[in-house]
Structure 1
Amino acid sequence: MARTSLTLDTAGRRWALIAAAVCLLPLLLQLPMPLPVVIAVAGAIPAAMAARGAAPGWLRTVLALAVFGLVLAQGGMNFGRDTGCALLAGMLAIKPSELRTVRDARSLLGFALFAPFATFLLDQGPLSLVLGLCGAVLVLAALARLSEQESGLPAAGVHHATRIAIVARLVVIGLPLALAAFWLFPRLATPLWGIPELSAARPGLSDEMSPGDWIDLIADDTPAMRVTFRGAEPTTREMYWRGPTLSDYDGRTWTASPWLRSLPPATVEHGAPTWDYEIALEPTERNLLVALEMPLEFPDGMRAAHEYTLTSERRLDRVTRWQLRSAPPTRFEADLPDSLRRLALQLPADFNPRTRALAQQWRAETTDDGALVERALAWIRSDFAYTLTTPLPGRHAVDEFLFDYRAGFCEHFSSAFAVLMREAGIPTRVVTGYTGGTRNRYGNYWIVRRMDAHAWNEVWLEGRGWVRVDPTAAVAPERIYDTLEDRLGAGGGANALLPMADLGDWARRAWNDFVLGFDAARQQRMLQRIGFENINAGGLAALFSLCAALAMGWMLWLVARTERERDPLLRAWRRLGRRYTRLGLGRARHEPAIVWTERVKAARPREEALVALTHRFVAARYASSASDATLVRALRAHRPARETDR
């Protein structure tokens, strides 16, 4: 006959709901708005109704369909790991609508533990870990409360703090095994499998640039990378972090040329100084890399196209580190083949007629390419303004920018400058990346944020090759009207928060270095410092197995010892027994206390005090109404009778 589950009491329901909510919280924090709010409301309504009775099935169905529809609508019908995590959060939020019995509560808590693990698919930061651990501890405490209800213990029989302390003690007991797994479990240099991509791409550099695409990117103040220099450092004006180079233009969108990616890197002559640095690149879900202009060499796992667009062999779905050396270029592809020249001059027909006419006029007035470049920069300096408030252009985007509104940001300036120079017969391309950076006051490193994204140009000049030109930087300071710093409120009271922001980023960098960055190479270096030189995979597996076995043995022994000796009365009784064990009269595990005492008295007749203490112990231990306030002190003070006293 099937066993009927107990109806959940009020305390058990409260514990189950709190534990499930805390488990769900870190996952909700990683979802884009308005999904977290909708999921939280969808979970709160049926949970409140279920406290007074079963929530109707039609309501659960409507809420589930609403959450499912919103997830798919926000993800654009693309399925990725973020979509799956959002659906998991929605289903978990609606699950409490079925919370009526102890069995339902156990089911809810079991499913709730999936939420912290799903969070790590989206974020592996310290906050996600702390919230996940809190959720796991509360789940264990809630399961303990359910066990108390099933055992018949009253709800007030165990204090909440005591229950959480017991669970926290179990977590601490398991800590050595967790540390052994973290430090010694064999790390693979490359994973056996990958994780699904995100359905919604993260803001970041791309191999194309269209009008309006960069607004979201330059409005994002989260870090894109952290850079640590060893030795000389460039000035912020020299910090041009080169990313994708865009050579193809269709009248609206600039894209990287697939053909150039198949060619070897162009010849570069470097000047001084040389900068030695490490880039810790945040995940982008792409394989595009950046480097300070211009890299002298390419580390393992990095590839360079002809125009020095850098890519990784693997998708960047985690924090990656790249050791690089760069130096400013003095000559960059000084000899330009005709095929590459044609590519750098190519423009679509029937676009931007006013720009074409102006370029032809300027070309007719001079044959000096350098003079044409300076004339364009002087025009920008005198007549153009910098602002983020720019309408989306129509068909003739460059004409509208140069002759109508004459205001924009780097996306507009670099695109228009490249078209103007190409119309004038000067090979030109767009380079995207980042500029500048902010030094962290608590660490010797630079933070480059996504809002530092920038686009500039390279023009090809005879005898010099490709030369960097930044038309956005030519805007006169008095004509800079609307910047991202203005919109974010950087100034006034916001400056007071900068030390806290730097401190938080320093802590996140330390987390990335010592936790997320603990890879196979770091593991080998750690083992070498403790005397394990060149340990292979088999030896590492054996070392881990040994340490794990020791940790598990210690854990089981400590749990058993804790359970045996939590009661001070039992602890004092066992200590008394060990005194007789040293005399060869120890109690066997199966031997009742009074039987053991009679055996001791038969061997040592003067042990009347032991007999009396044993009867008091049995009464206090097993008689429900017995109370003996002095027994523990008497057990601690008792010593076996001396041999001469027989």
Structure 2
Amino acid sequence: MADSHRPPPTLDPTSRHWAFAAGAASLVPMLLQLPGTLGGTIAACATAVAALAWRQPAHGLIRLLLAVSLVGTVLVLTRFSFGRDTGCALLAAMLAIKPSETATLRDARSLVGFALFAPFATFLLDQGPLSLALGLVATLISLGALQRFADVEAGDAHAVPLRQRLPAIGRLLAMGVPLTLAAFWLFPRMATPLWGVPERALARPGLSDTMTPGEWVDLMNDDTPALRARFFGATPRQEEMYWRGPVLWHFDGRSWTQPRWFRNLPVADTEPADTRWDYEVEIEPTDRRQLVALDLPLAAPQGTRLSIDHGLWAERPQTSLGRWRMQSAAPRRYEPRLPQTLRQVALELPAGYNPRTLALARQWRLEAGANDGAIVQRALTWIRAEFAYTLDTPLPGRHAVDEFLFDYQQGFCEHFSSAFVVLMRGAGVPARVVTGYAGGYRNPYGDYWLVRRSDAHAWAEVWLPERGWVRVDPTAAVAPERIYDTLADRAPGAGLFGAAGGMTPLLNVTDWLRRGWNDFVLGFNATRQQDLLKPLGLERLGTRGLIALFGMTAGLALLWMLWLSTRGPPETDPVLRAWHRLNRRYRRVGLGREPYETADDWVHRVANDRPDLTADLAELSLRFSNWRYAGPRTGRTASRERQELVRALQAHRPRPPGERT
């Protein structure tokens, strides 16, 4: 009964540091996936809490204030939007303040157990190799912390240095890895998950079906990958790489949008040119349905569909990496007969906006007569002569197009395409805005093209008699270098180390490795699973066959775990290992210690058979018993005594019977 009232084991400083290290390592991968302000706030709070609780837990009132303030901050920064980001941020916030209540060994175990949720929750936001590597590091540190706690409870913490804990940690990993690999490679792949994954509360950067001039600045400064493309056969020139995304028709005076009912209309007729591009595109997740394809896609791949304006849309939001095989060709003629309904939509302008632009457009129409092509060329000549490209633009007013065309006359692709389409519509030329990406960078290591979010671009399409829709890029008229940069200028890292791009080879290799990760891990689907089994003679294995194969493999993995468990963990105490080796040496001369014998009983038995060995063995036995059972000792003196005892145990070797000294 007295044991039931015994206080829980206290937390020594080393164990506290192990617990804090496990919590920090688990928190890092999640913070890297949260928005900068949110992740930085949680990281600062975690640092402050760790400093406050480094020696002892914080007061209860302080913990309450920390929890309330941090949760409130997370909700404000996520704009009270509930989804994956908010849930992961709240988990990170709770983990950040968890060390403030760590007082006992049980609290430390609770902290480590709670911390392990963080790296696994990170995979809801990102499945990249960096997240996996950081999650693995966090798992190893957490296992080391739990091993330390077990040693503290057993009274052996002083005798087990860090390097001797690594085999035990490796043993735990070896138990679980075979079953994990079996589940990944052999468990039947399904087209959709068994349960729904909540939407992200905070949108990922990327294209949307809305464009407001001036709001792409952050996107155009984002060098993270948007897509990768690999061509089979001929490759288009860089200036031909227009990656078509959402097509925008409706203008309210400020923003461009696409009427949703357009997506259900049949695809417009096109007459493709003779040259066709066969390629595979790998698109990073955006949590949206819109995709991009080389202008113009000839058909929609499985799981997608084309809208009337050849915008490509997926059947469900793209929450993970997507890969599609496509064919595209530039159009020789694109919808040469424009239905009256679409013509009206392509000429609509809101009333009460941009009077100077409309007046100029009407004047051009009177001067050009019925020649729509002349109006287009006149606008491009004007833009080429008097306009400049810049990302530093003033905030637009009510008449944003008037201000751009007649006042500051500088901007980037959103301004040029929006103003150009408004000007064309004012002159009676049907026009629309097309968004997507332009150009790309060829990675020489993988022979594929990398398109980054900073390559986001918007251009215009005008409808001309007999030709139909024709691409017109007013931004290229004033700043072609922005659209068709040299490969050196667009190489990753070139902006940091000059045009030569001192970091370019390293970043090329990094992205090539990331593409390999996408191919072999994130892109592992049902087809790849069947290909994996072909060398085994299993050409077509159905779901039942896969389940049976997985069951057999999982059974073997469980037997492996059982075998490792029955063998027992490797001995970590160097003194005990040396003692066991001494026993094995005595066993070779027929005097090994029996499992039921104490050290003293063993010495007495050896003395009866071999008196010549008694003195040395008795001394070693006494020193071993004192070290093992006299209580924990720490410090340099204890370390020196342990080393001397280990050397003495290793040096003593019993002589065979009859051998002279």
Q: Please classify the TM superposition score into its range, dividing by the shorter chain length.
A: 0.7 to 0.9
Instruction: Please state if 1:499 is matched with 2:505.
Output: yes
After superposition, where does 1:494-533 map in structure 2 within 5 Å?
A: 495-533=501-539
Is residue 472 of structure 1 aligned with residue 475 of structure 2? yes
Q: CA deviation at 1:579?
A: 13
Shift of 1:287: 0.6
Q: Answer yes or no: is 1:408 the counterpart of 2:414.
A: no
Change (3 A) 1:252 1:554: same
Question: Once the two structures are superposed, what CA deviation does each residue of 1:572-629 show, in whole Å capped at 9, x if it has no partner?
Answer: 978999999xxxxxx9xx98589xxxxxxxxxxxxx89xx99x989x96997269984
Residue 606 of structure 2 aligns with which residue? none
Q: Tell me the equivalent position of 2:192.
A: 190
Q: Which residue of 2 aligns with 1:91?
A: 94
Aligned with residue 59 of structure 1, among 58, 62, 68: 62
Q: Any idea what the Cα deviations from partners look like across 1:132-153, whole Å, max 9, x if unmatched?
A: 1111111111111111111222
Query: Equivalences for 1:322-401 in 2 at 5 Å?
Result: 322-366=324-368, 367-401=370-404
Distance 1:299 1:264 in 2: 16
Partners of 1:134 and 1:21 in 2: how far apart? Answer: 11
Task: Indicate which of 538, 544, 551 corresponds to 1:545.
Answer: 551
The question of 1:207 aligning with 2:213 is answered no
Q: Identify the match of residue 133 of structure 1 among 122, 133, 136.
A: 136
Deviations 1:219-245 (A, max 9, x none): 111000011111100001000000000
Matches within 5 A, 1:550-561: 550-561=556-567
Structure 1's 621 and 631: CA in aligned 2 closer, same or farther, altered over 3 A? farther
Q: Percent identity?
A: 55
1:527–1:633 CA distance, 2 compared to 1 (3 A): farther
Deviation per residue, 1:460-485 (Å, 9 max, x gap): 111111111111111166999x9998
Are the equivalent residues in 2 in contact too, given 1:569–1:632 (CA < 8 A)?
A: no
Partner of 1:239: 241
Pair 631,401 (structure 1): closer, same or farther in 2 beyond 3 Å: closer
Name the CA shift for 1:631/1:409 in 2 (closer, same or farther; >3 Å). Answer: closer
Alignment of 1:43-192 (within 5 A): 43-153=46-156, 155-192=157-194
Q: Distance in 1 between matches of 2:311 and 2:394?
A: 30
Query: 1:423 aligned to 420, 423, 426, which one?
Result: 426
In 1, are the aligned partners of 2:199 and 2:287 still within 8 Å (CA)?
Answer: yes
Aligned twin of 1:285: 287
State the 1:350 CA deviation: 1.6
Counterparts of 1:579 and 1:309 in 2: how far apart (Å)?
84
Q: 1:541 to 1:359 in 2, by over 3 A?
A: same
- The 5-angstrom pairing of residues 233-312 of structure 1 reads 233-312=235-314
Alignment of 1:429-440 (within 5 A): 429-440=432-443
Distance 1:222 1:418 in 2: 30
Q: Distance in 2 between matches of 1:570 and 1:468?
A: 82
Q: Is the 8 A contact 2:179 2:557 kept in 1?
A: yes
In structure 2, C-alpha distance between the alignment counterparts of 1:89 and 1:53, rounded to whole Å = 22
**Contact 1:441–1:499 (CA under 8 A) maintained in structure 2:** no
User: Which residue of 2 is the match for residue 644 of structure 1?
Assistant: none
Deviations 1:359-394 (A, max 9, x none): 111111122011111111111111111111111211
Change (3 A) 1:303 1:556: same
Q: Deviations over 1:194-239 (max 9, x none)?
A: 3111111111111111122211211111000011111100001000
What secondary structure is seen at the aligned counterpart in 2 of 1:226?
Answer: strand
Q: Deviations over 1:524-564 (max 9, x none)?
A: 11112321121111111111111111122123213433547
Q: Secondary structure at the match of 1:34?
A: helix
Q: How many Å separate the matches in 2 of 1:55 and 1:186?
A: 49
**Structure 1 spans left out of the alignment, 5+ residues:** 581-586, 595-607, 639-646
* Cα offset, 1:347, TM superposition: 1.0
Q: Does the 8 A contact of 2:585 with 2:654 survive in 1?
A: no
Would the aligned equivalents of 1:442 and 1:503 in 2 still touch at CA under 8 Å?
yes
Q: Is the 8 A contact 1:565 1:571 kept in 2?
A: no
| Residues 225-234 or 561-570, more deviating | 561-570
Q: Corresponding residue for 2:39? A: 36
Compute the displacement of 1:425 (Å).
Answer: 0.8
Q: CA deviation at 1:188?
A: 1.2
CA contact (8 A) 1:5 1:102 kept: yes
How big is the shift at 1:172? Answer: 3.1
**Unmatched 5+ residue regions in structure 2?**
599-608, 628-644
1:258 and 1:434 map into 2 onto residues whose CA distance is 22
Conservation of the 8 A alpha-carbon contact between 2:333 and 2:467: yes
Counterparts in 2 of 1:559 and 1:233: CA distance versus 1, 3 Å: same
For residues 301 and 499 of structure 2, the distance between their equivalents in structure 1, rounded to whole angstroms, comes to 43
Give the match's secondary structure for 2:359: helix
Moved more, 130-139 or 175-184: 175-184
Cα deviation code 1:88-127 (max 9, x no counterpart): 1111111111111111101111101011011111111111
Match of residue 624 from structure 1: 625
| Aligned residue type for 1:551 | A
For residues 263-290 of structure 1, the C-alpha deviation after alignment (integer angstroms, 9 at most, x for no partner) is 0101111112111111110010101001
Deviation, structure 1 residue 29: 1.5
Deviates more, 1:185-194 or 1:364-373: 185-194
The structural deviation recorded for 1:326 is 0.7
Q: 1:325 to 1:573 in 2, by over 3 A?
A: farther
Taking the aligned partners of 1:287 and 1:546, their CA distance within structure 2 comes to: 39
**Equivalent residue, structure 2, for 1:602:** none
Give the 3 Å change call, closer, same or farther, for CA 15–179 of structure 1 in structure 2. same
DSSP 3-state at the match of 2:190? coil
CA distance 1:443–1:479, change in 2 (3 Å): closer
